[in-house]
Amino acid sequence: MLFDKVKAFVVELDGARAGTEPVFHGGQAVAGRVLLELAGAARVGAVRLRARGRARAHWTESRSAGSSTAYTQSYSERVEVVNHRATLLAPDSGDAATLPAGRHAFPFSFQLPISLVTSFEGKHGSVRYSIKATLHRPWVPARRARKVFTVIEPVDINTPALLEPQAGAREKVARSWYCTHGLVSLSAKIDRKGYTPGEVIPIFAEIDNGSTRPVQPRASLVQTQTFMARGARKQKRAVVASVDGEPVGPGRRGLWPGRALRIPPVGPSILHCRVLSVDYSLKVFVDIPGSSKLLLELPLVIGTVPLHALGSRSASVGSRTSFLQAWGLCTLTDRPEAPPEYSEVVRESPLVAASSSQGPSSPLHDPGLTTEGPYFACLQEFRYRPPPLYSEEDPNPPSGAVRPRCMTC
């Protein structure tokens, strides 16, 4: 308006920095202020505040009612998770108050519910949190200001259910037309179910190609968005990361001893919402020429609380050792040496030096696999050395020594 005395009317949140906004979680207090700047004295009836959080799903589908009749079916569902109202300025007499020119600040604070849903924007739904301030003045249309804020619910991957290894096996007969080309089998395993963005997923896989054609192994991280409304479901899938392996020739076997797949910056899993969910899965598959692909799907949970150092060591070492033992790729002796300190392993890792000298063809040489962190530390955490031997004539045998056995007995 030409003679409007309101120069600025905005909502500011505490903790905001230049170019960034604060992030909240359930149970946290949201505090800030409503700023009003007047060019001259003005009468103000009230300043009110409303904070809302909504989870919403909506999509349409085309239906046919006959040979020439079609209509559009709409599906919509909405859940309100936050609803807070407050009056920041209200004259006692019920009349308008006159505010002088200048800046006026109206502070506010409210508590978020304990359990919330992470902010999300999808094709058929969203989870949005916002604060709306309304300025009421006599004989003037109401002035409004809106501020959107982000909520990220903590998802801790250090729970026993998310530290369990995930494994599976599939097989398929390769066919084209009426010809059978042989059996192709796939086995895959990962050390745990829960990961955080930026981590590397080491994939252990075995591909047995009993067919007469070469096959191509691949792996991908898939995000599945599920929207629910009025008893119906709508899904949208997207590949967020992928990695390819070397082709496996006819009658050959291919191994992935920890093929690295890095998780990009993606949103966490949303598991407890009535109208939408966000799930992740690791799909390991084999492309078979002339036939459909052989697919193995392992569920994943993308969290926000990273793995503790102790959980990383125990989970990674146990899963890798058991997996390699199952395939006969390593053996254990009777007396394993005690594991070294974690700090010593991280400072100097012989596996890192070995992998850098092997070249691009080595399965351990992957540009996407970082040489820092607990993954490389856990690969050489247990070193097995045979116990020393001693003879019966030795009066002072060394500590821990064993007597040699006769091979003919």
Q: What is the pLDDT of residue 398?
A: 53
140 & 186 share domain: no
Other beta carbons within 10 angstroms of residue 116's beta carbon come to: 23
Kindly report the CA angle at 307 between 301 and 308, in degrees rounded to 5?
Answer: 155
Q: Do 108 and 91 have their domain in common?
A: yes
Best CA proximity match to 277, nearest among 60, 58, 125, 82 = 125
Question: For the sheet containing 253-262, what is the strand order?
Answer: 166-176, 179-190, 200-209, 253-262
**Closest-CA residue to 162 (of 199, 117, 112, 136):** 199
Regarding whether 343 and 219 lie in a shared domain, the answer is: yes
- Among the listed residues 258, 260, 257, 170, the one whose alpha carbon sits nearest the alpha carbon of residue 215: 170
pLDDT of res. 368 = 40
Q: What is the pLDDT of residue 377?
A: 37
Q: Domain boundary at 133, 151, 169, which?
A: 151
In this structure, the answer to whether residues 167 and 187 fall within a common structural domain is: yes
Where do we find the tokens 């990273």?
306
CA–CA separation, 115 vs 25, rounded Å?
8
- Assess whether 114 and 167 both reside in one domain: no
Q: Are residues 341 and 232 in the same domain?
A: yes
Say if 400 falls within a structural domain.
no
Question: Is residue 290 one of the residues assigned to a domain?
Answer: yes
Q: Are residues 249 and 319 in the same domain?
A: yes
Q: Strand runs (DSSP E) across 230-329, as ranges?
A: 232-244, 253-262, 276-287, 294-302
**Residue 385 falls inside a structural domain:** no
pLDDT of residue 393: 56
Per-residue pLDDT at 391: 52
The verdict on residue 132 lying in a domain is: yes
| CA atoms of 10 and 36, how far apart (whole Å) | 7
**Is residue 405 one of the residues assigned to a domain?**
no
How far is it, in rounded angstroms, from Cα 107 to Cα 160? Answer: 43
Residues 105 and 170 in one domain: no
Residues β-bridged to residue 297: 283
Q: How far apart are CA 401 and CA 381, in angstroms?
A: 23
- Same domain (yes/no): 216, 108: no
Q: What is the pLDDT of residue 220?
A: 97
Answer yes or no: are the C-beta atoms of 322 and 164 closer than 8 Å: no
pLDDT beneath 70, residues of the chain:
1-3, 66-67, 93-94, 175-180, 310-409
Whether residue 242 is found in the same domain as residue 360:
yes
Count CB-CB contacts under 10 A for residue 22: 15
* Alpha-carbon dihedral sign for residues 280, 285, 289, 292: negative
Residue 27 lies in a domain: yes
How much is the pLDDT for 290? 77
Residues 95 and 196 in one domain: no
Whether 393 maps to a domain, the answer reads no
| pLDDT at site 375 | 36
Domain endpoint, select from 126, 151, 176? 151
Is 397 a domain residue? no
The number of distinct structural domains making up the chain is 2
What region, left, alpha or beta, does residue 88 occupy, with left being phi > 0 and alpha being psi -120 to 50 degrees?
alpha
What are the strands of the beta sheet with 6-13, ordered from one edge?
6-13, 29-38, 102-111
Q: How many Cβ atoms sit within 10 Å of the Cβ of residue 317?
A: 19
Indicate which CATH number applies to the domain containing 112.
2.60.40.640
Domain that includes residue 194, residue range: 160-379
Shared domain check, 34 and 182: no
Domain final residue, candidates 117, 151, 185: 151
